[in-house]
Amino acid sequence: MPVEEILTIDIKPGWKKGTKITFEEKGNERPNVIPADVVFVIDEKPHPVFTREGNDLVTTKKISLAEALTGYTAHLTTLDGRSLIVPVDSVIHPGYEEVVPKEGMPLPKDPSRKGNLRIKFDVKFPTRLTSEQKAEYLLALTWHLPLVTVDGPCLSTYRRARPPKDGIHVLRRPLHLPLEAPSYASWRLRAPYAPDVTRCHVLRGYGDTCASLRLQGAPKTQPSPTCDRLP
């Protein structure tokens, strides 16, 4: 007569898909034959946020081009219910991963140790950009340079020309200080400081947006910068 028995499996932290648990001689019985073993094989249920690669957890965040250039903060809920905030200050390029140490899966042989959390990024690129948007992205790419404010439309003499190989336009016309609130966007442009600075180099712009510059933090006695077109 068949005998029923309840088999209990204690799942250990970090067990991987394919891990086998064997109960010896708990299988079917036949006369004069040693009972077979019962073998359970671990499978992993898909998670809506994370996938597993070895001992690492991997997730993908969809972000805009502006976020990729200016910085992004990832907000995640871990598998054990904790809130995790991960600031990403680097420029996010294709293939970039932000690695958070020790936030992955426990190691099966030593659950006190963990793999890493790897955050991948899917950057949504715009199909078209306005001049203002291009200016904003230029600002994001040149954040480390001295701050200059671009104000007002270009004068008729400021016509767009093919930029030199170094990607710099230099315009011929004196630019006056101070400025009112800018009507376009704040760009960080090359404008080296020195007491006798009278020249400034304007990074290549887009369309017909440019004109007046204001060097943030300049002494009041600083002469207005003058920009000349490169030969």
Give residue 138's pLDDT band: very low, low, confident or very high (50, 70, 90).
low
Give 162-166's long-range contacts (Cβ < 8 A, gap of 24+). Answer: 163/204, 164/230
pLDDT surpasses 80 at 56? yes
- Name the 3-class secondary structure at 75: strand
CB neighbourhood size of 151 (10 A): 20
pTM equals 0.58
Over residues 165-189, the pLDDT tens digits come to 333 333 333 333 333 333 333 333 3
CB neighbourhood size of 80 (10 A): 5
Over residues 79-128, the pLDDT tens digits come to 999 999 999 988 898 899 999 999 999 999 898 999 999 999 999 988 88
What tokens does 189 get? 């442009």
What tokens does 11 get? 């799942």
The pLDDT score that the predictor gives to residue 52 is 96
Lowest mean pLDDT of 55-69, 90-104, 201-215, name the range. Answer: 201-215
pLDDT surpasses 80 at 35? yes
**CA 72: distance to chain centroid?**
6
**Is 25 within 8 Å of 77 (Cβ atoms)?**
no
Q: How do the domains of the chain map onto residue ranges?
A: 1-44, 51-124, 126-231
CATH fold of the domain at 51-124: HSP40/DNAj peptide-binding domain (2.60.260)
- Greater confidence (146 vs 113) lies with 113
